[in-house]
Amino acid sequence: MSRYTLPDMPYDYAALEPAISGEILELHHAKHHAAYVKGANDTLERLAEAREKGDFSNLVGLEKTFAFNLSGHVLHSIFWQNLSPDGGDRPDGEFADAIDEHFGSFEAFKKQLTTATTTVQGSGWGVLAWEPVGRRLVVEQVYDHHGNVGMNTTPLLVFDAWEHAYYLQYRNVRPDYVEKLWDLINWNDVIARYHAAKGA
């Protein structure tokens, strides 16, 4: 059975300073993200054991644990690629036109994603996603890693609103952290994900 693995970071831990400190980034990647990878792999083993024994009495808990850890792994893997020390500004071309079409303007989109991220209750994410049925961009406010999500949407740009992503540096002022994320967005990565999702 194939196993999930922790991806290498596309830049040094200190590369996103001063917006995100190297200490936070290292803890976030090497500890928190790694824990989700381990959790997904461990749960897969427990599911395989349940199948071998024909004992599915704990299936509800195992399915929930697997969804939590796998979604955490997927979202973090996207998050690292969405950020860049050379990021910021705003997109142009077809993707910029799509933002205008589905949100009215870049400013309206930015305000909606910022609000979705800063107001998520407890821990979660603000996500720009492609919704293939209506063939449109949507903003989702994700609880934990997997709750409140439209089925079949594809994440393109994700903002981590878990406290471990910012608390050492920004304390309880999540809006300041989210505002800094806009200066780090790797729009080339987001646009590539948009074209891949739209063409699927």
Annotated binding residues for Mn(2+), written as ranges, equal 28, 76, 160, 164
Question: Residue 46: which residues within 8 A CB-CB, separation 6 or more?
Answer: 58, 62
Give the residue among 49, 27, 47 at the shortest CA–CA distance from 39. 47
Q: Which residues are annotated as a binding site?
A: 28, 76, 160, 164
Q: Quick check: 40 and 4 in contact, CB under 8 A?
A: yes
C-alpha distances (whole Å) from 198 to each of 26, 32, 98, 111, 156 are: 33, 31, 11, 24, 11
C-alpha distances (whole Å) from 34 to each of 7, 54, 177, 187 are: 9, 30, 22, 26
Helices within 54-126 (DSSP H only): 59-82, 93-103, 106-118
